Structure 1
């Protein structure tokens, strides 16, 4: 479906960001791994985390869901059953990459499949280390889903320096390591999001500018009893929307502010965005705050490549903010964006070009010439069925000269089912 987006003169109101997708995935998987029962509140209703629940059910995990509360009866490391049919991960790379660490480590006999988009995304980065650990896993052409996983003679612990900063790769290896008698150590030179080690309470130690995380069969997997925080990646769309509009006041309550996830908050502050952070608290092991953003005059920025792993999912909406910063902004070291649900570097360059922004696309980044008085041209913005493209284009279109159209707008349900409702709420409250 296409969605029409009109220019908006003002944005105001309070939004509760959707439950954090990354934490929802992990909370369900870790609850299944535990030998105890868990109650997870505010579990995400988005398509991707629901794919995780369906896969776990097929593995013999008893799950009861009432609204956003999920009760999971843990089966422990040795309680997973061979599924009767393929585990369908849908569009969720997190489901496939993390769950493969669990089922490969456990030696479950299964096939993991995904939709057309997920099946085109390389899984080589997880296949290679899992094989080194003694797991039996293979993919189409050696690198793509479907993934075929088989029983094995036992997981071998290893020391694994991460070749790229990737929380999904890190988590996959650590989860497989939970099935090994000898420790597996993941060496992380550049810090990535740390939900896995937080929620599993894994042993970590500093290592240069990064850290070493350890897992083994000796580690006791804790219950997952907590409320999932609001998704910072979703909140980022409203942080930018509030910053670029001349007349905006947006309150975001219950937002996760994990320091391994919130780089865009600090990047926008450096660009001149006006924020307040109040009511700081914890949800389980995760920090949570209420955020307030209002209209700001933004400055351009040359983004430090070292920050990319901390804000990889938020880069598309950050590019929108750069359009309204008075001068040239530069992103480098972001080639990983080309390997997401779509090639997000090329897709965002196309969206920004259609809006009339001066853009220079690079192999690993983008150069954006922003203007404080920029008025995006009305256009039909392609999304390539990518939820973050759709939401970034929608925020951009609210500043446009006329009505724009967002293609395949329903893809926002992958991570943010209420996005269009929340956008309407902020627009109506401002009327």
Structure 2
């Protein structure tokens, strides 16, 4: 299904965005591994998170959902049962990579698969360190592609330096570390999002963070907790950019998670001249939360690289839209990770923005965007990637003509109500 968005006169009002996708995944996993009941409010009911939920139900965990609150009856670290069928992760790389770590230390056999896009994504970056811990995992392409067949084994802690700052790699090894003998230490070149560290600590795991990494000591049981999932800043990002690029806009987004490992988007847009304020800062279930007030702004091109990149890695498609409408050149570097997301997001955004009349050049680890303060109407491709689809719909709000995006069904993986919310706040 395709969708067409018309240029907007303004983006105005108040809104909330769905619960944080990363925190929602982890609430299911740790709630299932904890002893006793965990209650989760604000859970994101997108396709990716539901894939995780269904996988744990298939491993014997009782999870009820009344539409407002999830109730997870955890069975402890050794309480999972061998699934009777393949576990389908859909489009969710988080589900597959994190569960590979968790399942490596079980006492049973399991298989993880996913859709056509997930089966193309690299898995060796997780599989290789898990093998060093004693994990036995088989996959296509020499172990680099799903489906993954996992033979649960006793694990031993290791020290691992990740070549890239990846919360998925780190979290997979942390989950394996819960089952490993001794300590598991993961270091990174830059700090990736730390939701796992915070939630491990919240559930009572033996975890210690230090500059450049984290250590988990295996064997300590987790205890069920109540979790309030804040709004996802990755979802809020689309509306933040929309309000910045459409003249006359003012938008308040309530209850958004502002974990400092995730606020690279705010730092980048503020450096571009964006008028963004954080109001009513508070703490929920170990995570910082705030209301975000955004006003339309004249943006300017900037250079982006270094440690801000992993702190904004999921938001770069819509940052590209902001850069296209800014004055002057924006250069993105150190972002090779974008090439191994749901699609190659560097190439995908370059192709779409070129169709919209934007001068853009790819580099191996980023791109150069010549901002001219305008975007033309066009037909854009989603490439089956939810963030590409949403970014190009946002671009349409500030374009000179309508923008049509094909295959917008993929938006349901992370933000099922995106289009109705966009229609609500964008005044055409």
TM-score (norm 2): 0.97
Conserved 8 A contact 2:60-2:80: yes
- In structure 1, the residue matched to 2:260 is 259
- In structure 1, the residue matched to 2:347 is 346
What stretches of structure 1 move > 4 A for 4+ residues in a row? none
Q: In the alignment, is residue 113 of structure 1 matched against residue 117 of structure 2? A: no
Q: Deviation string for 1:313-355 (max 9, x for gaps)? A: 0011001110121101100111111101111000000111011
- In structure 1, the residue matched to 2:6 is 6
Conserved 8 A contact 2:230-2:255: yes
Q: In the alignment, is residue 203 of structure 1 matched against residue 207 of structure 2? A: yes
Q: How many residues align?
A: 423
Q: Deviation string for 1:380-400 (max 9, x for gaps)? A: 100111000001000101112
Conserved 8 A contact 1:80-1:108: no
TM-score (norm 1): 0.96
Q: Give the superposition deviation at 1:188.
A: 2.7
Q: Distance in 2 between matches of 1:169 and 1:321?
A: 29
Q: Deviation string for 1:91-147 (max 9, x for gaps)? A: 000000011111112233111110100001111111101110011111112211110
Conserved 8 A contact 1:20-1:231: yes
Q: Deviation string for 1:260-292 (max 9, x for gaps)? A: 001110111111100111111111001100001
Q: Give the superposition deviation at 1:299.
A: 1.3
Q: Deviation string for 1:178-219 (max 9, x for gaps)? A: 001211111233100000010011532433xx23x1223233
Q: Give the superposition deviation at 1:227.
A: 1.1
Q: Distance in 1 between matches of 2:328 and 2:69?
A: 46
Conserved 8 A contact 1:303-1:331: yes
- In structure 1, the residue matched to 2:409 is 410
Secondary structure, aligned partner of 1:236: helix
Q: Which has the higher strand share?
A: 2
Conserved 8 A contact 1:328-1:369: yes
Q: Deviation string for 1:61-92 (max 9, x for gaps)? A: 11101103110011111111110000000000
- In structure 2, the residue matched to 1:319 is 320
Q: In the alignment, is residue 392 of structure 1 matched against residue 396 of structure 2? A: no
- In structure 2, the residue matched to 1:88 is 88
Conserved 8 A contact 1:45-1:68: no
Q: Distance in 2 between matches of 1:284 and 1:235?
A: 20
Q: Give the superposition deviation at 1:177.
A: 0.8
- In structure 2, the residue matched to 1:306 is 307
Conserved 8 A contact 2:207-2:217: no
Query: Where in structure 1 are there 5+ consecutive unaligned residues?
Result: none
Q: In the alignment, is residue 37 of structure 1 matched against residue 41 of structure 2? A: no
